[in-house]
Amino acid sequence: MKKMLILPALMMFLGAAQAGPVCEFLLSRFAVHAQHEGSLDVQDQPQTCVIRQGQMGTGTGSMVLAFDQLRLSGSGFASGGEEGDLPQTLALDVTGIYVLTGRMPGQDYLMRLQALPMSFGMDYVWDAQSGQLRIERAVLRGERLREISVHVLAQASELAGQPLRLEDLPALRLRHLRLRLDNVALVQSMIMPAVVSSISLYEDPKPTIQAGLLAARTAVMLMPPSTAALASRQALLDFIGELPAPKGQLDLRLDFDPPLDGLALGGAGSMDQVRKAMSGMRVQARYARGDLPFAYVRVRDWLRMVLSAPKNLP
C-alpha cells in the first residue's frame, strides 16, 4: 500500500526537478490552469512557489484536480545539478482539493456543494551523506474521509554522496514504514475506485477482490511469531475482515532488517523468494473498530493539523 500511495506522489511532483525557480519547474512540467477565467494566480519566490485557485488533469478522462492553494518549497531546485536531479528537501502542501468533471459546470457546482475538500501534505529529506530518503510527512486528510498518513525511511548506500534522481527511486530499500489509517469511507472513496479500475470496469471485480483478501488473510495467518506477535496478527485479520469498507483506525508499523529490496521482491518468481526477500520484516499493528466520540475526533484532528503544519526544511 505504501508504494501505491507514496511513489505516485513522488513521480507526480518530482518527476522533472531541474535547475531554476520552483515555479518554473512546476509550471513547465504540469498543465496547471486557472479555475476561472483570467490568469493563474502565481507567487514565485526563490525557493517557494504558491499557486491559488488552480486545477490540473488527473489522467482519467476529463476529470480535473482543483485546489484552493498549492505551496511547493524546498532546497536543491537550483543547485546547478544535472537535469533530472531531485531536490534535496521538499515540502508540498495542497489545500481545498476537489475532484471535478472539468467539462460540466453544473455538475462541478453540485460536486463542490456536496463534497468537503481534502488536503494533502508531504515533506521529504534526501540525506546524500548516508544515502537515506526520509518521507517525514505524507498525509491525505478530509473532513468526511478522515485521514491516512505515512512515514517512510528508505536507503541506498550506493547512492551516497550524490544527488537523488528519479530513476534511483526503485533502487531504494525500505527500512521503516509507519501507516496510520483513520477511515470514514476513505478506502471506499479513494482506494477502491483505483483498485476496481485496475481490474476492469466492465466485469464484476468481486472474485478478484475476494481472492486478494483471501491471499492477504493467509499471509497474515502464516506469519511466524518472530515477525508479528499474536495481537498484531489479530489486528491485521480484523482490518482485512472489514475490507473493502473498514470503519476503524489502523496503526501499522513495519521495520526491515536487512532493508527490503523492492526490486528483488518485484522480481521474485516463487513464494520462497518472496519469503526470503521479506525475511527481515517485523510487524506491529493495532486496529480499533467503530467510530470515535465526535468531540475527541475534533480535538485530535486539530492537534494533528497543528503538529503537521508545513515547516521550513533546512
Residue 14 has a pLDDT of: 44
User: Would residue 29 be called left, alpha or beta, if left means φ above 0 and alpha means ψ between -120 and 50 degrees?
Assistant: alpha
Contact 138, 90 (CB under 8 A): no
Q: pLDDT of 186-223, one tens digit each? A: 777 767 877 887 787 788 889 999 999 999 999 999 89
Task: Calculate mean pLDDT across residues 54-76.
Answer: 80
Residue 1 has a pLDDT of: 45
Q: pLDDT of 129-176, one tens digit each? A: 999 999 999 998 876 667 788 999 999 989 888 888 888 888 899 999
The share of the chain scoring above pLDDT 70, in percent, equals: 73
Helix, strand or coil for residue 220?
helix
Residue type, 207: P
Which DSSP helix (H) or strand (E) runs through 111?
helix 105-114
From 209, 195, 92, 192, select the one nearest 140 (Cα to Cα). Answer: 92
Contact 32, 97 (CB under 8 A): no
**What pairing do the DSSP bridges indicate for beta strands 146-155 and 249-261?**
unpaired
